[in-house]
Amino acid sequence: MRILPFFFLLSAVLLASPNEISSFNSKFEQRIVDEHGKTILYRGELWATKPQSALWLYQSPIQKSVYINAKVLTIIEPTIEQATVKTLGGEIDFLEIIKKAKKVDNEHYSATVNGLTYAITFKNDALSAIGYADSYDNRVTIKFLNPSTNKHIEARRFKPTIPSDFDLISDR
């Protein structure tokens, strides 16, 4: 669950960008570097819409789908035939991030929420990267490749389908 803060941050960034962004789609590369310099690189695609819907499709090195729908997080992991459904609490307060996001220059913003500082980068008014150090001292950088904003995304994309033979872990 180390990458959860980012999922919530992106929902806030959809509200905090220099342009009014109502939807976002992009391939991404997520690099996590631990305190020993060990790096893992994830690749996938993200779809997100206001107010709080997101789907992260991780394609390598593992396959995993992460759905965020308002206050519910669903993670489907085909490799281990498992799904996790969690009710979200106050992990990150979207309004607090928006309120605290400060413009550093034409391309960079910064926000500190719950002790984590997020560096948000826009290029040509498009979200291009987000970086932060998590509570485990991992440096996380997510680069967005060919982002698309304000295009229609079908609501059904954000509805998870959990195979009936998967193990289910739930707090609901």
Q: What is the pTM of this model?
A: 0.82
pLDDT, mean of residues 18-38: 87
The domain defined by 4-170 folds into: outer membrane lipoprotein receptor (LolB), chain A (2.50.20)
Give the pLDDT confidence score for residue 98 in this predicted structure.
44
Give the pLDDT confidence score for residue 96 in this predicted structure.
47
Give the pLDDT confidence score for residue 104 in this predicted structure.
92
pLDDT, mean of residues 35-56: 91
What tokens appear for 60 in the block?
Answer: 């390598």
pLDDT, mean of residues 95-123: 77
pLDDT at residue 132 is higher than 50: yes
pLDDT at residue 50 is higher than 60: yes
Q: Which residues of 17-43 are buried (b: 16+ CB within 10 A; e: fewer)?
A: beeebbbbbbebebebbeeeeeeeebe
H-only helix segments in the chain: 4-16, 94-100
- Specify the length of the chain in residues: 172
Separation between Cα atoms, residue 160 and residue 17, nearest integer Å: 27
